[in-house]
A and B are shown apart, each in its own frame.
Chain A
Amino acid sequence: MSELASLSIAEIRSGLDEKKFSCTELTTACLDKAEKLSSLNCFTLLTPEQALKDAAAIDALLKQGKSAPLLGVPVGIKDVICTKGVRTTAASKILSNFIPPYDATVVRRLKTAGAVSIGKLNMDEFAMGSSNENSAFGPVKNPWNPQYVPGGSSGGSAAAVAARICPITLGTDTGGSIRQPAAFCGIVGLKPTYGRVSRYGVIAYASSLDQVGGFAQNVHDCALVTQAICGEDPNDATCSKRPVPDFAKALGRDIKGLRIGIPKEYFVSGLAPEVSEATKKAIGVLEGLGAKTVEVSLPHTDVAVSVYYILAPAEASSNLSRYDGIRYGHRAEGQLDLKALYSKSRSEGFGKEVQRRILVGTYVLSAGYFDAFYVKAQKVRSLIVKDFTEAFASKCDVIVAPTTPTPPFKIGEKVSDPIQMYLNDIFTIPVNLAGLPGMVVPCGAASSGLPIGLQLIGRPWDEETLFSVASAYEGATDWHKKSPAVAA
């Protein structure tokens, strides 16, 4: 029954409603597939017992004739999102034994929607990374070729969907951590507008940038998972109270006359020809569908990485102060005084990339450097916001751009040079800094055979236009129908 795991949500829903298979059978198929593809290392934890218990409860509801968009749909959850009673580690040794006593709001929403979680997905430790090589559970492998990275930090979330282990997964995106792995794995991923989704229960990396989003095989499924997780939350003051539109209604909408902005700063030297070509081809497809393209300028694109690598480590160094081995998590052994207990627990618990970012963050916040680094970065961030505001105000309705400067790279290729690794996020970071919604759909393949993704960037709160453009593009192309050999 392993073909059940490959189904899209539409197929699952009709299958369940028409009693072609049960939720228990479906869930079992996904769990089996996860076991079968364990070498990809997508999961930090599978929860078969809980999943099958939940599936049985869903089967009872289905018997009563109940139906809902995500009822009985298996889902995987990035291990940075708290799940009540289920170990949540952020792929860090420092949380290797942490059992949250509460559910993140997005988990609560998925449970209420009737989705069934099969387990927790591997990631870069504390969501810090672009290759999923910084995990205490070891790297995730790209399902298209295990020698390649799946992207990061939500590498497990992207790989699990690409490998057709489960139809949808949740990830988080702070500087591209949904969009870059979606591109590298050839699937659909959306980072909603900052404030659209509650961060409550999502282990914070950089609070002003983090946002939860969904991965899916296709745009329709992505709309459904996004719909399920959006909405206000009394427990997150940064989560907006504005009403959430019906994203499914935006699918299939005509894009004739829609103005598509092409940011000239994204097509510069350093952009791999394969990526450039695939992106331009995709733009051609959109033009063929009646969209008008217009060149726009986002002049501060090239400094966005600098802004990000000040602000994100600054916030991270603060957010990670709570991991001290005192109330929960890893505590160093031995007769230690208080200060040694802190230092030893934290050094044993945090991986090298995390320690590196904590040091950078501590430096940019420290006395004497705060204004030159942190305040300066927040000023430049204002300029980056302004770039987008101006482009959207008069020139375009949506921006289309490459997701990454290069196609997927090999495991180990960039680990020795942090700057090279960071620069992989050059096209995704500005979107987080401006708090905008960003989406990725598959749009090509590199000579390596690995996928290339197209990035769509919208106005604040305008996920609908992204869904319209993505679904129009998907309707005109076949990239979303391709899946890696291991998925079969």
Chain B
Amino acid sequence: MEFETVIGLEVHVQLSTQSKMFCNASAAYGGEPNEYIDPVTLGLPGALPVANKRAVEFAIMLGLATNSEIRRFNRFARKHYFYPDLPKGYQISQFDEPICERGSVEFYMGEAKRTIGLKRIHMEEDAGKNIHDSRTQASLVDLNRAGVPLLEVVSEPEIRSSAEAAAYLRAVRQLVRYLGVSDGNMEEGSLRCDANISLRPVGQLKFGTRTEIKNLNSFKFVERALEYEVARQMALLKNGQSVVQETLLFDSATGTTRPMRSKEESADYRYFPDPDLPPVVVEESWVREVESTLPKLPARWIQDLVSEYGLSLYDATVLTDEKAAVEFFNDVVAACSNAKAACNWVTSELFGSLNKQGLEIEKSPVSAKALGELISMVDASEISGKMAKAVFEEMFSAGRSAAEVVKEKGLKQISDDDSILAIIKREFDANPKQLAGYLGGNERLHGFFVGQVMKATEGAANPKKVNDLLREEAERRKG
């Protein structure tokens, strides 16, 4: 029997606000243990939450970016469970009234466009962190992260492979980074992922029994954990055994999943509307206001890059991976009006050099305008493509403009007919034997003379001009 994989992801996006979701404590990453505390973070008696307006706006932004329906009347709900990293004994979240519903995330896998539906996006607060020390039989709690705003993005079970899951996750990360609502840093836990996974016979509508894998904290782990879990479930089903619905933890050391002991007891979260937090009403005018601050998003960029700039889909996806890159590219095009060249330069020379130095594009020593100028010089035949690469290297290492480098190194391409013709004549006269062969029709000797001219000009002659003028002079001498 053939089986189909059914995956749904719950992605937790930590928002990059200054302060926490419901209090004025810092939401920064790191810090001394328990440094970012206040009465709300500690869940002290009498402390009360007040919601962070920016976090709500971030939720609206992600909702708009995923074409979600934005709920007008929003309430926060309390979700109850006891855990040492949850100071109040409940997490403030949203229950049956999430701020965003029925959205979707678009992305490409190769040439194929995929659209994964979103059930919901809701606002909630993060928990603290526990460090476990089995040697002392103790766990240590740090509440710096407790109360940091999160958006939980819940996909429909429409993902069909572990690779697609990873691609979807990358698309979510790309989106939140474009919007500036999160840094999407998986190592620091700004993006965390739980996966629901089940198998069903191909053609069957009913879903199989699912398992949930918690805390997948890198793209690699998402893929590996899902691959392992697909194989595990497949083996069970093929042996005629059944899958047990349970919550699993992925062990990255062994590459396997194991049941979570703390989840054995069936949960009853006892949600109810938080009486401390008045409803948040998102009027249409507020949505429009937030919408006006949205940047151009990857899907739109890709569309424009392909249809207006004539780039390949592959190039477009590479360029749009990061907002800063495509915006840089766009600025390059603005300075040189040559999208294809700009794309080549940005994706090969620039990305290559940046990678080598471990630099973000925002820190590029070559500005978009400077790169545009360089491309324009090539297009105007002022320098050759080969020279341009050398010029770029100099620009990158010394942070200078193309014009400066070209002038200082005397790299300017020789393009005026008279100068080139004079050199051609000199070379013809200096090599009578080769000239005779060339005039006699030996095409290989055309290359020989091109080489001679380039050597004489130390590569500075415009190769196209050299080509054309060689043939003209040869015709004249034949005649």
Q: How far is the CB of B122 from chain A (nearest CB, A)?
A: 19
Interface residues of B in 13-57 (CB under 8 A from A): 39, 42-51
In the complex, the answer to whether A374 meets B82 with C-beta atoms within 8 Å is no
Q: Given A82-B45, A104-B46, A237-B276, does the pair A321, B89 have CB atoms closer than 8 Å? A: yes
In the complex, the answer to whether B268 meets A367 with C-beta atoms within 8 Å is yes
Q: Given A237-B278, A321-B82, A322-B89, does the pair A199, B48 have CB atoms closer than 8 Å? A: yes
Q: Given A238-B278, A327-B87, does the pair A101, B46 have CB atoms closer than 8 Å? A: no
Q: How far is the CB of A316 from chain B (nearest CB, A)?
A: 11
Q: Given A235-B50, A318-B78, does the pair A203, B270 have CB atoms closer than 8 Å? A: no
In the complex, the answer to whether B276 meets A200 with C-beta atoms within 8 Å is no
In the complex, the answer to whether A95 meets B272 with C-beta atoms within 8 Å is no
Q: How far is the CA of A337 from the CA of B90 in the complex (A)?
A: 21
Pick from B46, B49, B80, B84: contact of A338, CB under 8 Å: B84
Q: Given A238-B276, A365-B270, A367-B268, does the pair A322, B50 have CB atoms closer than 8 Å? A: no
Interface centre among B45, B78, B88, B90 (most CB of A within 10 A): B45
In the complex, the answer to whether B45 meets A95 with C-beta atoms within 8 Å is yes
Q: How far is the CA of A163 from the CA of B346 in the complex (A)?
A: 84
Interface centre among B139, B268, B278 (most CB of A within 10 A): B268
In the complex, the answer to whether B272 meets A314 with C-beta atoms within 8 Å is yes
Q: How far is the CB of A238 from chain B (nearest CB, A)?
A: 6
Q: How far is the CA of A248 from the CA of B44 in the complex (A)?
A: 35
Nearest residue (CB) in A for B38 is: A102
In the complex, the answer to whether A237 meets B48 with C-beta atoms within 8 Å is yes
Q: How far is the CB of B43 from chain A (nearest CB, A)?
A: 4
Instruction: Check if B141 is an interface residue, CB within 8 A of chain A.
Output: yes
Instruction: Check if A201 is an interface residue, CB within 8 A of chain B.
Output: yes
Q: How far is the CB of A362 from chain B (nearest CB, A)?
A: 7
Residues of A within 8 A of B48 (CB): 199-200, 235-238
Q: How far is the CA of A165 from the CA of B78 in the complex (A)?
A: 42
Q: How far is the CB of A160 from chain B (nearest CB, A)?
A: 21
Q: How far is the CA of A371 from the CA of B271 in the complex (A)?
A: 11
Q: How far is the CB of B143 from chain A (nearest CB, A)?
A: 8
In the complex, the answer to whether B80 meets A318 with C-beta atoms within 8 Å is yes
In the complex, the answer to whether B275 meets A238 with C-beta atoms within 8 Å is yes
Q: Given A318-B90, A324-B82, does the pair A366, B270 have CB atoms closer than 8 Å? A: yes
Q: How far is the CA of A104 from the CA of B48 in the complex (A)?
A: 11
Q: How far is the CB of A377 from chain B (nearest CB, A)?
A: 11
In the complex, the answer to whether B45 meets A321 with C-beta atoms within 8 Å is no
Instruction: Check if A62 is an interface residue, CB within 8 A of chain B.
Output: no
Q: How many residues of B contact A (CB 8 A)?
A: 29
Q: How far is the CB of A374 from chain B (nearest CB, A)?
A: 6
Pick from B87, B139, B270: contact of A322, CB under 8 Å: B87
Instruction: Check if B474 is an interface residue, CB within 8 A of chain A.
Output: no
Residues of A within 8 A of B47 (CB): 200-201
Q: How far is the CA of A441 from the CA of B46 in the complex (A)?
A: 29
Pick from A98, A207, A234, A342: contact of B276, CB under 8 Å: A207
Q: How far is the CA of A7 from the CA of B139 in the complex (A)?
A: 56
In the complex, the answer to whether A318 meets B46 with C-beta atoms within 8 Å is no
In the complex, the answer to whether A328 meets B80 with C-beta atoms within 8 Å is no
Interface residues of A in 307-326 (CB under 8 A from B): 314-315, 317-318, 320-324, 326
In the complex, the answer to whether B46 meets A201 with C-beta atoms within 8 Å is yes
Q: How far is the CB of B459 from chain A (nearest CB, A)?
A: 70
Residues of B within 8 A of A365 (CB): 80, 270-272
Interface residues of B in 276-307 (CB under 8 A from A): 276-278
Interface residues of A in 203-235 (CB under 8 A from B): 203-204, 206-208, 234-235
Residues of B within 8 A of A104 (CB): 46
In the complex, the answer to whether B89 meets A234 with C-beta atoms within 8 Å is no
Q: How far is the CB of A180 from chain B (nearest CB, A)?
A: 23
Residues of A within 8 A of B45 (CB): 82, 88, 90, 95, 98, 100, 203-204, 322-323
Cβ contacts B44-75/A at 8 Å (1 or 0 each): 11111111000000000000000000000000
Q: How far is the CA of A234 from the CA of B51 in the complex (A)?
A: 11
Instruction: Check if A202 is an interface residue, CB within 8 A of chain B.
Output: yes
Residues of A within 8 A of B50 (CB): 234-237
Instruction: Check if A370 is an interface residue, CB within 8 A of chain B.
Output: yes
Q: How far is the CA of A59 from the CA of B101 in the complex (A)?
A: 62
Residues of A within 8 A of B51 (CB): 237
**Chain A residues with a Cβ under 8 A of chain B:** 81-82, 88, 90, 95, 98, 100-102, 104, 199-204, 206-208, 234-238, 314-315, 317-318, 320-324, 326-328, 338, 342, 362, 365-367, 370, 374
**Chain B residues with a Cβ under 8 A of chain A:** 39, 42-51, 78, 80, 82, 84, 87-90, 139, 141, 268, 270-272, 275-278
20 contacts between A and B (CB under 8 A): A81-B46, A102-B44, A199-B46, A199-B48, A200-B48, A202-B46, A204-B276, A235-B48, A235-B50, A237-B50, A237-B278, A238-B278, A320-B89, A321-B90, A322-B87, A327-B87, A328-B44, A365-B271, A367-B270, A370-B270
With A88-B45, A323-B45, A362-B270 known, 16 other A-B pairs at CB within 8 A are A82-B45, A95-B45, A101-B44, A102-B39, A199-B48, A200-B48, A235-B50, A236-B48, A237-B51, A237-B278, A317-B270, A318-B89, A321-B80, A328-B42, A328-B44, A367-B270
6 smallest CB-CB distances across A and B, nearest first, come from A321-B89, A208-B275, A365-B270, A207-B275, A201-B46, A203-B45
